């Protein structure tokens, strides 16, 4: 050493170091490319030496690059070695100082083991003197090198540095060695140049990691392949949703008008339901679909039947009910429908529920049970073919096992028919229609109460007589139209001896209006074939109907599924027609048209000409028979079982439609939906319809 100088005062920890302690630190940065060979030699730095000039004595012995521990303004040094790494421990003299080197208050990046050009090193600003408050995400992504080591972030010292401290470390761009670089040799993050250690560091490939909250703007170019694909997907998705909720309903709505227009201009073709018979058009899809009127399960022996005149009539409709599990809710069957109503016309004790009717074990079952429903104590079923299956003339019969017992009164099983212009249980449709069956004349018989003050009739008058005014609401002007009724049977109980023995009986009847005087028809035109089992019913009617009926005694084994019996009638419409009833295919009694000939101030009643629908039901009502509720409760639920229903007609006179020529019904029903579809409307006026005027009562 050439001169002596007292070093600056050190912190207390440094003053306690031995003068002999020394520490050798290899330089991390060679001064130039020419000094690469000498850079491999480690310079020695002796701290607290006994020499007065510690640094000069070391420089005199060391020929490699020297870094002063006092602040200088030396220009940046040249880059580090490009192709190899220095060992952590140089083969220099052992360390002579145990002093803990204090880290600087600010960090810097050494970029060990990286290749840097001289230009890049010289252009980097001093990290220590860089304003930390201005270091942000933008600076990081635009000015920082590609990779950084863990010590490139600020590292705070436990002891603040004085600005005049000669031991303050320099930046990595200085050609002088910094004691902070000694720490690099003890880096615990080996070769982890891109590891984020400190919160103010920003990851180069993660723009969301911006501690200062500054936004890193990126170029946005929508017109790329990916952008166009995204746009196309959104357009298809939005278009599909709009079509589903807007386009399709509009098309479906407009399509009906287009088809109607096409059909009006082209009558040679039909579409969809237009190709079906008119009486079942516009019906919902059928659950129990069939391809014909005759059930394929009908035996060949039943395809014909001998009529009362000995001729063979042909089977035109049959239902064998062999398919189990059938139900008859609206729209489920092409020929039958179970109603959901209370039959208020007879003030019944039960509610008719479609759930009470099904097929099981090859038969139709209608169940009557004590199940409170809609405020009523009982529940049962009514099956109708209204506006689906109609026939005019012929034979209708069914094989039936009656419900309950023949010696217990109260149940009211029925198998009957009614004109299609009245729907059973829908009182607005039957008002002024049931039970009229009148000739095409206009007289007192079409008026309310038959224009009589003796109380013989409480009917409101015929709604559709033959003499309605021109342009009036009438399905076939010039013809008397109505809803007559013919009953195959209504079952009850009768006492047969003085001991009070009871057996089952059936009432086989026809209902007529207007009425004969005292409801008495001409019995000369009636016949009872076996008076031991059949007799004319003493009940002839009341203020709402004239009933012409015969009673036939039954076998009490024909109940509750034990045995089945056939019940039916044969008829020919018109004033000269007839009705003949039978049990077990044995004729019981017969009435002919003249039995209801003109009488007094009323004209000819006729054997019904209207297309007739079929009804099967089990009811209960005190208006029909005495009800033994305690006895009935013992065998509930009671079931009426129907094995089959068949209709026969003479060859050449088949009419199995609800729109026979001159007696069409379906369009009139379609024009008055409230009366035929709402069972709660009980009068024609309540359905907001007006009774047509006629020339007999009004001035046309």
User: Is the pLDDT assigned to residue 686 strictly greater than 50?
Assistant: yes
What's 616's DSSP letter? E
227: pLDDT confidence band, cut at 50, 70 and 90? confident
Q: What is the mean pLDDT of residues 523-546?
A: 96
> Would the pTM count as exceeding 0.75?
no
User: Is the pLDDT assigned to residue 156 strictly greater than 50?
Assistant: no
Residue 457 φ then ψ, to 5°: -140, 140
- pLDDT confidence of residue 185: 53
User: Is the pLDDT assigned to residue 147 strictly greater than 80?
Assistant: no
Whole-number percent of the chain with pLDDT over 70:
64
User: Is the pLDDT assigned to residue 648 strictly greater than 70?
Assistant: yes
131-135, 372-376, 608-612: least confident range: 131-135
Q: What is the mean pLDDT of residues 632-648?
A: 97
Q: Where are the alpha helices (DSSP H) in 281-385?
A: none
- pLDDT confidence of residue 192: 53
| Of 348, 313, 337, 597, the residue nearest 490 (C-alpha) | 348
At 486, which helix (H) or strand (E)? strand 485-495
- pLDDT confidence of residue 258: 67
Beta strand segments in 513-657, E:
526-528, 534-536, 541-542, 545-553, 565-572, 578-583, 586-592, 612-620, 638-649
* 508, two tokens: 């086989």
Distances in whole angstroms, Cα of residue 362 to Cα of each of 201, 383, 508: 86, 17, 27
What's 607's DSSP letter? B
Residue pair 416/615 in contact (Cβ under 8 Å)? The answer is: yes
β-strand partners of 394: 571
- Helix, strand, coil percentages (3-state) for the chain, rounded to 5, are 20, 20, 60
Specify the higher pLDDT residue, 482 or 139.
Answer: 482
- pLDDT confidence of residue 499: 85
145: pLDDT confidence band, cut at 50, 70 and 90? very low
User: Is the pLDDT assigned to residue 144 strictly greater than 90?
Assistant: no
Which of 15-19, 70-74, 401-405 holds the top average pLDDT? 401-405
d(CA 606, CA 435) in angstroms, rounded, equals 12
Q: What is the mean pLDDT of residues 416-421?
A: 98
Length of the chain, please?
A: 700
45-76 pLDDT tens trace:
444 444 444 444 444 444 544 444 444 444 44
142: pLDDT confidence band, cut at 50, 70 and 90? very low
535-591 pLDDT tens trace:
999 999 999 999 999 999 999 999 999 999 999 999 999 999 999 999 999 999 999
Average pLDDT of the residues of the chain: 78
- pLDDT confidence of residue 252: 81
User: Is the pLDDT assigned to residue 593 strictly greater than 60?
Assistant: yes
d(CA 326, CA 292) in angstroms, rounded, equals 17
In b/e form, how buried is each residue of 455-490, taking b as 16+ CB within 10 angstroms? ebbebebbbbbbbbeeebbbbebebbbbbbbbbbbb
215: pLDDT confidence band, cut at 50, 70 and 90? low
* 13, two tokens: 């920890």
Q: What is the mean pLDDT of residues 479-497?
A: 95
Q: How many CA atoms lie within 13 A of 582 on its CB side?
A: 18
Q: What is the mean pLDDT of residues 674-679?
A: 97
d(CA 500, CA 502) in angstroms, rounded, equals 6
Residue pair 486/569 in contact (Cβ under 8 Å)? The answer is: yes
Specify the higher pLDDT residue, 479 or 250.
Answer: 479
- pLDDT confidence of residue 31: 43
127-141, 166-180, 547-561, 679-693: least confident range: 127-141
User: Is the pLDDT assigned to residue 268 strictly greater than 80?
Assistant: no
Residue 124 φ then ψ, to 5°: -70, 135
Residue pair 66/46 in contact (Cβ under 8 Å)? The answer is: no
Q: What angle do CA 591, 576, 537 make, to 5 degrees?
A: 15
247: pLDDT confidence band, cut at 50, 70 and 90? confident
d(CA 279, CA 392) in angstroms, rounded, equals 14
Q: How many CA atoms lie within 13 A of 484 on its CB side?
A: 27
CATH class of 279-677: mainly beta
Residue pair 378/367 in contact (Cβ under 8 Å)? The answer is: no
User: Is the pLDDT assigned to residue 248 strictly greater than 90?
Assistant: no
* 417, two tokens: 């028919």
199-203, 410-414, 424-428, 500-504: least confident range: 199-203
* 396, two tokens: 């209708």
| Of 477, 445, 474, 443, the residue nearest 461 (C-alpha) | 445
Q: Quickly tell me which residue has 């007192």 as its tokens.
A: 444
Helix (H, G, I), strand (E, B) or coil at 383: strand
Which of 27-31, 122-126, 600-604, 639-643 holds the top average pLDDT? 639-643
432-457 pLDDT tens trace:
999 999 999 999 999 999 999 999 99
- pLDDT confidence of residue 196: 58
216: pLDDT confidence band, cut at 50, 70 and 90? low
User: Is the pLDDT assigned to residue 262 strictly greater than 90?
Assistant: no
- pLDDT confidence of residue 282: 56
User: Is the pLDDT assigned to residue 595 strictly greater than 50?
Assistant: yes
- pLDDT confidence of residue 515: 97
DSSP 559-586: BTTS--EEEEEEEE-BTT-EEEEEETTE
75-108 pLDDT tens trace:
444 444 444 444 444 444 444 444 444 444 444 4
């Amino acid at each position: 050493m050439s001169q002596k100088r007292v070093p600056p005062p050190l912190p207390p920890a440094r003053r306690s170091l031995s003068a002999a302690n020394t520490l050798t630190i290899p330089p991390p940065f060679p001064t130039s490319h020419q000094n690469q060979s000498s850079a491999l030699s480690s310079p020695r730095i002796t701290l607290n030496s006994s020499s007065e000039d510690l640094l000069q004595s070391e420089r005199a012995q060391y020929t490699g690059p020297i870094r002063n521990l006092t602040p200088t303004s030396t220009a940046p040094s040249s880059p580090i070695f490009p192709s190899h790494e220095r060992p952590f421990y140089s083969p220099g003299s052992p360390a002579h100082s145990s002093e803990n080197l204090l880290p600087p208050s600010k960090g810097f990046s050494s970029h060990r083991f990286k290749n840097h050009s001289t230009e890049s090193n010289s252009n980097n600003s001093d990290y220590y003197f860089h304003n930390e408050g201005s270091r942000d995400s933008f600076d990081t992504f635009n000015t920082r090198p590609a990779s950084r080591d863990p010590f490139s972030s600020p590292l705070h010292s436990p002891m603040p540095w004085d600005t005049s401290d000669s031991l303050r470390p320099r930046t990595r761009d200085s050609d002088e060695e910094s004691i902070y670089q000694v720490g690099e040799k003890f880096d615990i993050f080996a070769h982890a140049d891109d590891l984020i250690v400190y919160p103010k560091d920003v990851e180069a490939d993660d723009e969301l990691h911006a501690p200062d909250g500054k936004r890193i703007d990126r170029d946005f170019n929508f017109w790329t392949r990916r952008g166009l694909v995204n746009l196309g997907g959104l357009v298809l998705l939005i278009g599909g949703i709009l079509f589903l909720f807007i386009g399709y309903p509009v098309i479906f709505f407009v399509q009906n008008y287009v088809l109607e227009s096409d059909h009006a201009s082209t009558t040679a073709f039909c579409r969809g339901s237009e190709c079906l018979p008119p009486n079942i058009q516009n019906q919902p899809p059928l659950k129990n679909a069939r391809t014909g009127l005759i059930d394929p399960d009908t035996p060949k022996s039943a395809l014909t039947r001998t009529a009362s005149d000995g001729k063979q009539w042909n089977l035109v409709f049959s239902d064998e009910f062999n398919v189990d599990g059938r139900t008859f809710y609206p729209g489920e069957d092409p020929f039958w429908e179970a109603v959901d109503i209370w039959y208020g016309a007879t003030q019944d004790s039960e509610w008719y529920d479609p759930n009470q009717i099904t097929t099981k074990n090859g038969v139709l079952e209608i169940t009557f049970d004590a199940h409170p429903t809609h405020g009523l104590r009982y529940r049962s079923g009514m099956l109708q073919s209204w506006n689906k299956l109609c026939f005019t003339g012929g034979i209708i019969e069914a094989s039936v096992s009656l419900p309950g017992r023949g010696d217990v009164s109260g149940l009211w099983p029925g198998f009957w028919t009614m004109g299609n212009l009245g729907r059973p249980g829908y009182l607005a449709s039957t008002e002024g229609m049931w039970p009229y069956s009148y000739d095409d004349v206009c007289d007192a018989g079409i008026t309310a109460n038959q224009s009589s003050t003796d109380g013989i009739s409480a009917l409101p008058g015929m709604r559709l007589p033959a003499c309605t005014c021109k342009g009036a609401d009438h399905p076939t002007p010039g013809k008397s139209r109505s809803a007559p009724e013919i009953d195959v049977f209504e079952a009850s109980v009768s006492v047969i001896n003085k001991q009070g023995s009871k057996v089952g009986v059936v009432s086989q009847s026809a209902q007529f209006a207007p009425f004969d005087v005292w409801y008495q028809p001409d019995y000369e035109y009636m016949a009872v074939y076996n008076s031991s089992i059949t007799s004319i019913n003493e009940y002839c009617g009341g203020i709402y109907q004239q009933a012409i009926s015969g009673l036939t005694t039954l076998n009490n084994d024909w109940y509750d599924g034990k045995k089945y019996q056939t019940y039916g009638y044969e008829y020919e419409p018109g004033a000269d027609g007839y009705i003949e009833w039978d049990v077990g295919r044995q004729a019981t009694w017969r009435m002919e048209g003249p039995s209801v000939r003109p009488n007094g101030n009323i004209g000819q009643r006729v054997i019904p000409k209207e297309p007739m629908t079929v009804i099967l039901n089990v009811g209960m009502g005190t208006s029909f028979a005495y009800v033994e509720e305690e006895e009935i409760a013992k065998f509930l639920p009671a079931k009426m079982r129907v094995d089959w229903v068949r209709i026969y007609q003479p060859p050449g006179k088949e009419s199995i439609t609800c729109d026979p020529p001159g007696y069409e019904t379906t369009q009139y029903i379609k024009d008055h939906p409230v009366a035929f579809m709402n069972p709660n409307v009980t009068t024609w006026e309540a359905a907001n319809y007006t009774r047509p005027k006629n020339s007999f009562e009004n001035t046309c």
